[in-house]
Each structure stands twice: as C-alpha cells, then as structure tokens.
Structure 1
Amino acid sequence: MSVRRNPGTDLRPDWFEGIRINTPAVERRAATLPVRRSLKKDWQAAWLLNAVRCIDLTTLAGDDTDDRVARLCAKAMQPVAPDLLKELGVEGLTTGAVCVYPTMVAAAKRALGNSGVPVASVATGFPAGLMPLDLRLAEIRYAVDQGADEIDIVITRAHVLQGNWAALYDEISAMREACGSSRMKAILATGDLKSFENVAKASHVAMQAGSDWIKTSTGKEGVNATLPVSLIMCRAIRDYQTQSGNAVGFKPAGGLRTAKDAISWQVLMKEELGTDWLRPDLFRIGASSLLGDIERQISHHVTGRYASAHRQAIA
C-alpha cells in the first residue's frame, strides 16, 4: 500500500500558534516508551526485521567515493545475511532507501539497478543550509536530475528562532516545488531549535508546505534524535492529519545506534500514530551504524550466539 503525497495546505498559523508544551510531562511519557513492551524471541526478531526495512542506510562523509557507495548499496539490497533470513523464513528484505550526497546519486542508482531500493539525497546546503535560496533550489534540481527518488532538505533555523513562519513556509514550499515528483523530507535540526514549542510549530509549517516526511536532524548537530523531541513531532503529525486529512511520515536521524533504539522508536510510532506508521512509506530511520547491531541481535536469535563483528559485512 502506497501513501499518497502530502499536498500541503495554505499557511495556517491558527493551527499551531497556541501550542504550549508541558516539558516534564513529555519527558515522563518518553521515558516510559523503552519499557512499555517486553519483546522476546520471535516477536523481537520480527520488530528488528521491520526496523531494517525502514532504515535509510546512509553515508554522508567527505571522503565518499563511488566504490564506498556501491558497497553501501550492496548492503542495502542484502542487509541481513542470507542464511539468517532463510532460518527466519524471510525473503526479499531490503532497507528503506540509501541516502547520499547529490554527487553520489548517480553512483547509487547504478549500483542499485532494478532492486527497487530508492535513492535519497540530501540537498539545500546540507547540513547548515546557510546558502542563498536559489543555490539550494538548484542543488535539489541537480539531485533530481541525477535520479534521486527522495530529497532530504534542511530548513533555515533562523526563521524558526525568529518566529518568521511565513518565510519558513515560503522556503519549504519552493523546495517542495523543486523536488517535482521526488518525495521530500524536511530536516528540522531540532537540536538547534531551542524549545519543544519551536519544534512543534516548525513541524506544522513544514507539513503545511507539503513535506512528505518530517525529520529530526541532520546527524551533525550536537543533539540529534531523542524520544522526547520525536514524541513532539509525532503528535504534530497526528494533529496535522486530523486538521488536513493528510498523512505525513516521520524520520528520526542521528543517535539511533542499537537494536534497543530501533524497538523504542517503533513503539513510539505504534502507540502515538498507529500500525500504519510501522511501514517504510511513513517511517524511516536515518542511520549508518544501527544495522550492524540489529544483524548481531538477529544472529543471536537464530544461532544462540553473538557473531563477531568481523563476520558481518560493514554497512
């Protein structure tokens, strides 16, 4: 089942200007999520395999090469060892996407071939976004021309800090238009936004401007994805769906490193947004190292032993 694109709305400040957030209550709720569900054996393995299909397997390094991207794409197409999947009765498992810089999109498309794994590209002056808007839009168009299926854009944080919602809306709307048929993820860089209220309001503006997913972080901020900030964004998604009738996806990025993290964020999605948000068309995890720990846990489930790191293909 494919979710239709978020068409956005006109800018509606009345939907979010009155938001007030009880920070201790948010933190208490978030603290309960990792312990609310005890998942063991086959249930745990199933949730971990689901996390794999929602991962945007990522390389965003200054020394990226075509060969490194090709290796990442090979891992995306076969994220868990075939013998382990055979024991679990699973076929055709891939990650949700591969995420690279615009100049690496063509290499990723070649490496992925007809696998069906989408290529996501960061753009708009990632990670800071402090470039003239026309250059950021040109970068989006370049990535789309190279074949990117999804574009992860970054916002101007100053618009949020100054409460200039019209400027933020206009900027994201222009980026959405530049994406054409490629789906857009709006990175809010929540670690830079200073308050939960700012996160909630920026989330609403990004969705009203047509973002298909809202994403916590670039992975380059001092603080990246956390359960409290993810809770705020998920409730904004729920409110926006109630107000507009449109479903928007969510992507936590940066800081998710363990299988336990993968389960905690899936519990958040199920409890706050429902089972539909456990599918890759509405939930992605931005990660580079997470997959290794998930595969290690799956290996333990199948064999009863933890595999040595050298036995797992590097993601």
Structure 2
Amino acid sequence: MKPLLFTLLIISIICGACKKDDKVIPDPVITSSALHDDLLFVNKHDFQITTSEAATYSSSDHSITISASGLISRITSGEVVIVNVNWPRTGKMTKLYVLGSTDDEHVNPFEKYHAAASDNPDGQYIQGWATLRKLAESGQTYFIVLRHADASVGFDYNLGHQDPVIPANWWKSCDSTLARQLNPQGITRATELGVALKDLKMPITRVISSEFCRAITTAQLINSGPSITIDKRINHPDYLKTGETLFQGLQHIISETPVDNKITLVSTHHPINEFNDSGIPTFPKVSVYNWTAAFFVKVNADKTFTYEGAASFGMFKYWRDLKLNRV
C-alpha cells in the first residue's frame, strides 16, 4: 500500500473512533411528574424531587425544609420558593421554583384565620396555574376573586366586646381597635400584587370591594386603575346582613356584570370560597384561599360560570417574572 493511502486509512480509523467516543450527553433535567409548566407542585410531606441524573439541593428560604438529596419534608402552603439544584457532572446549577400545593401547612398569623380547608388544593392550584398563564390574553370574561391581603392587626369589634351599644359602622373603620386591618406584610403584598397585575397587562375594568377597610385598602394598594365599587353583599360574615352567603352575593354580582371579555377584580373575605353543595357544575366544596390569593371564575356568554382554579400570591409574582424573562 502506498504511504499516502496508508496514512489516510489510519486517519479515517482514528476519526471514526473519535466520533464513537465523542457521544453528546444531554443536559440533566427535573423529571418529577408534578412539574407543570416550570412550577413544581409539592402536594405532600416527604416529597422526593426526581431528576435524570444525580444532583444536590439547597434553599435559603425558611418556608421550605429540604435535604441535600432533594427530599422536601415540609413547605408552607401556597408559598413559591426557589430550590437550587446543583449538577455535579456539569458543574451547573438550575433554579427550580416550588409551590406548596397543600392547604394544611400554614404558619401564624394566617393559621389562626385559615377557616375551612380545601378538598383538593393540588388540583385547584394546577388548574389555576393554567388559567393564570392565559388570563391576560384569554379574550374572555373573568372574575379574580381575591381574599384581602394579610390582616392580623387588631380584631373585629363584635368578636371582642359584649357592649350593649356597638359603635356605628365599626366594620368600615380603619381603626384597629374597631376592625382588623392589614399587617405590614399585607401592605407589601397587596402593593406587589398590583405591580404584577400591571406588568402582566391584565385587562381589569371593574374593581369591587366589601365594606370592610381591610378589603378596600387591599384594592386601593393594588391600584389596578378603575374606581372601586363598594358592595355589602360580599362583606365578611362578622357583618353580613343580607341574609345570604358571600357566594350567593357573588353570584348576584356576576349576573349583573356585562359579559365583555374583560376582568373584574373582587376584594373580599372567606368564606366566599366555601361553595359546599351549591349544585353549580365545576365548583368544588371549598377552594383553597389564602390571604392575598384568589380563585378564578369564567363567565360565559349565557351568564353561566365555571370555577377555573386558584392562585396564591407567589404564583402571581412568579408568572410575571417568568413571562417577562426575569428568572
């Protein structure tokens, strides 16, 4: 064999061997089935994150307890936290966003005011996440039914007094000796939620609040644009004199609202989330409903309406950041 041909043969053999050895290994990924559209829904204690290859985990957020092996022993219900996933093979790190999709792992002060627990928080949060992601561009008529922001300052007058004469309009007062008011976190979260809704360009054309100062203050801090309409039919049960439930009051409001493919923001209270045996298709018995959180109602052209899931404060903020490429 001529030297040139022999050399070319050797080179081709070496190159062929190189190609076989130069196999491309795909980047590691999260494989947990509870990962939905970039958000991991943790619906139980001792939840194990699964991945395509070995990883170590950590988080500086006090709302979560997670081991280096990815076992989440607890996470506060409704909170969205960041978990750092470190990949030893590549030396890279992934930020994983995790939601506590339960309704039985709360902390004070909210734990004191939690009320009835949801019958399916995980499913409601997953449905709400899908609704939230399409809401601004849906071109349909929706209600965002918000529980007022975090409120633990003071207490409602009728709960702590047996006075023969109760102060007039105490429930409307912004004095914490007469009615419960927003705490510092509530003020911060209501303001931040308003910024997130604006950043997401939510087409909110109507804002309705109960008569309670904490609900009105929440709507004011959100500052979504439209003037606030006050409606006693969605007052807290501490002062709800219509003879109907909050949910019945909401149904009346929905029936009176035009189907105009816009969004109505409602600032109200529990137990508007307790539908129980309403008989309305798609509505659960109880929706998950934290402070500064909401459930969604879609109104159809014939004025029928459907429950479209729930979203916590952290979900609103995370979706804004994800959509605007801030994560």
Superposition TM-score, scaled by structure 1 size:
0.24
* Structure having the larger proportion of residues in strand: 2
* Structure having the larger proportion of residues in helix: 1
Higher relative contact order (CA 8 A, sep 6+): 1
Superposition TM-score, scaled by structure 2 size:
0.23
